[in-house]
Structure 1
């Protein structure tokens, strides 16, 4: 299991929205979901990938980067420019 696999819950104009990241260490594939719907799919080819998408009138930015010399990856969410602590690690 990749350390990049994370989930966040953000309050968007009074409504709870769920953002999830799944990362495969075998293929490098990254899937970002908003409330279960795929928002972006990428591969982690380089040291870092950034994916941005709108959530209502707001902006979510997910960053996935290699860690531990490329043997693992980690992810982070910034919502309207602010770091959001994940629900799970």
Structure 2
């Protein structure tokens, strides 16, 4: 009987761990989806502001700025900068 109880407890713990791992994976997937959507929107807005599509380097810089500075700051720069200033901001690795 002790073996069966041990097995049931062990199995219950494994099932709980599996559910928790699945929840964490779903949360991470949701977070990544939000970040991707945010990057896509910011890229489109920058492209409109610049009058051209972003280069791969500019898109990478934009993703880094969204991560480091946050969407509010990136939006502020996009909306308040002329095209030339936005281009310079995207090409400056130390831009804030």
Fold shared, TM-score > 0.5 on shorter chain = no
Q: Which has the higher helix share?
A: 2
TM-score, length of structure 1 as denominator length: 0.25
Structure showing greater Rg: 2
